[in-house]
Amino acid sequence: MRGGGGRGGACGAGWTCYHGALDLFLLDRTTHGRVLHPQPHPPDGRADRPADGHPARGAGEANAGAAKTTTLALRIAESLARNVEPARILALAFTPEARDVLRQRLLDIGVPWDTVNQLDILTIEDLAMRTLAQLEGEALRLTLQPRRLKTHVWRAVDAVAAQYAGRPGSRFAELDLRKSETAVSGYLDTLLRLKARMVLQGEDDDDPVEAAEVAQAPLTDYLVALAYETARLDGEDRAVFRTAFDPTYDLARWLRREPGCAQAFPRYRVVVCDELHDMNEASFVIVEALIRATGAFFTGVGDKHQVIHDQLGASHDYLDFRFRHAFPALRAYPLTTTYRHGPHLTLAIDALMDNRGSSGVPDHTEIRQLHYDTAEDCAQQVVAAIKEWKKDKRRLEQCAVLMRDRHQSIALENALIEAGIAYRVPVMKGYLQREEILFLRGVLAICLGDLRAVPSYEVRTAIVEALAAFAGLEAAAGFEKVKHDIAKEPSLLRGFFQGHLGGDALADAETAFADVMRYLEQVPQDSPAGEVLAEVCRRMDVAAVAKRVYVNPYAASVAARSIDGFVAMAGKSGLGLAAFWKKINAAEVFASRKREKDFIHLDCVADVKGQEFGHVIMPYLEVNEFPNPLMPARTERNLFYVGVSRTRQRLTLISPADTERRSVFLRQMQIAAVAPKADQALRQLENKVTEERAFRLYLSARYEEREEVRQLGAQFDTVRKQWYIESGQDTAPFQRWL
Write down the least CB distance from residue 426 to ligand ATP, Å.
16
Among 67, 252, 349, 382, binds ligand ATP (CB under 6 A): 67
Q: Is the dihedral of CA 723, 728, 729, 731 positive or negative?
A: positive
How many residues of this chain bind ligand ATP (CB under 6 A)? 18
* Termini Cα distance of the chain: 28
* Angle ∠(341,609,339) on CA atoms, nearest 5: 20
Report 415-434 residues binding ligand ATP (CB under 6 A).
none
Report 33-52 residues binding ligand ATP (CB under 6 A).
33
Among 82, 197, 719, 733, binds ligand ATP (CB under 6 A): 719
Q: Which is nearer to ligand ATP, 95 or 248 (CB)?
A: 95
Write down the least CB distance from residue 544 to ligand ATP, Å.
40
* 655, containing H or E segment: strand 647-656
Stretch that binds ligand ATP, among 25-33, 87-95, 181-189, 384-392 (CB under 6 A): 25-33
Among 15, 28, 126, 544, binds ligand ATP (CB under 6 A): 28
Among 6, 43, 60, 65, binds ligand ATP (CB under 6 A): 65
Write down the least CB distance from residue 335 to ligand ATP, Å.
7
Binding-site annotation: residue ranges:
62-69
3-state secondary structure at position 702: coil
Q: State yes or no: residue 280 binds ligand ATP (CB under 6 A).
A: no
What lies within 8 Å, CB to CB, of 502 at 6+ separation is none
Burial class (CB in 10 A: 0-12, 13-18, 19+), 306: buried
> Measured at CB, which residue is nearest to ligand ATP?
64
Among 34, 52, 61, 69, binds ligand ATP (CB under 6 A): 69
Q: Which is nearer to ligand ATP, 25 or 581 (CB)?
A: 25
Q: State yes or no: residue 610 binds ligand ATP (CB under 6 A).
A: yes
Write down the least CB distance from residue 719 to ligand ATP, Å.
4
Q: Which is nearer to ligand ATP, 482 or 689 (CB)?
A: 689
Q: Which is nearer to ligand ATP, 544 or 719 (CB)?
A: 719
Are the beta carbons of 395 and 389 closer than 8 angstroms?
A: no
Q: Which is nearer to ligand ATP, 62 or 556 (CB)?
A: 62
With residues binned 3-state (H G I as helix, E B as strand, rest as coil), the percentages for the chain, rounded to 5, are: 55, 10, 35
Provide the 10 A C-beta neighbour count for residue 481. 9
What does residue 550 show for φ and ψ, rounded to 5 degrees? -100, -10
Cα–Cα dist 437/407, whole Å:
10
Identify each DSSP E strand in 117-229 by its residue range: 120-123
Among 123, 220, 280, 718, binds ligand ATP (CB under 6 A): 718
Stretch that binds ligand ATP, among 66-74, 134-142, 228-236, 405-413 (CB under 6 A): 66-74
Q: Which is nearer to ligand ATP, 9 or 266 (CB)?
A: 9
Report 296-355 residues binding ligand ATP (CB under 6 A).
303, 339-340
Q: State yes or no: residue 68 binds ligand ATP (CB under 6 A).
A: yes
Cα–Cα dist 445/663, whole Å:
39
Q: Where are the alpha helices (DSSP H) in 475-527?
A: 479-488, 492-502, 504-508, 513-522
Cα–Cα dist 438/514, whole Å:
18
What lies within 8 Å, CB to CB, of 131 at 6+ separation is 251, 261, 264, 265
Write down the least CB distance from residue 265 to ligand ATP, Å.
25
Write down the least CB distance from residue 459 to ligand ATP, Å.
33
Stretch that binds ligand ATP, among 63-71, 150-158, 382-390, 420-428 (CB under 6 A): 63-71
Binding-site annotation: residue ranges for ATP:
62-69
- Sequential DSSP letters for 311-360: GGT--THIIIIIHHHH-TT-EEEEE-EESSS-HHHHHHHHHHHT---EE-
Q: Which of 506, 467, 451, 461 is nearest to 481 (CA)?
A: 461
CA distances 709 to 51, 697, 715, 721, Å, are 28, 13, 8, 14
Stretch that binds ligand ATP, among 64-72, 143-151, 184-192, 350-358 (CB under 6 A): 64-72
Sheet holding 399-403, edge to edge: 366-372, 647-656, 613-618, 399-403, 600-604, 423-424
Write down the least CB distance from residue 417 to ligand ATP, Å.
30
Q: State yes or no: residue 616 binds ligand ATP (CB under 6 A).
A: no
Q: Which of 506, 458, 517 is nearest to 484 (CA)?
A: 458
Q: Which is nearer to ligand ATP, 59 or 214 (CB)?
A: 59
Among 398, 635, 645, 663, binds ligand ATP (CB under 6 A): 645
Which residues lie near ligand ATP (CB under 6 A)?
25, 28, 33, 64-70, 303, 339-340, 610, 612, 645, 718-719
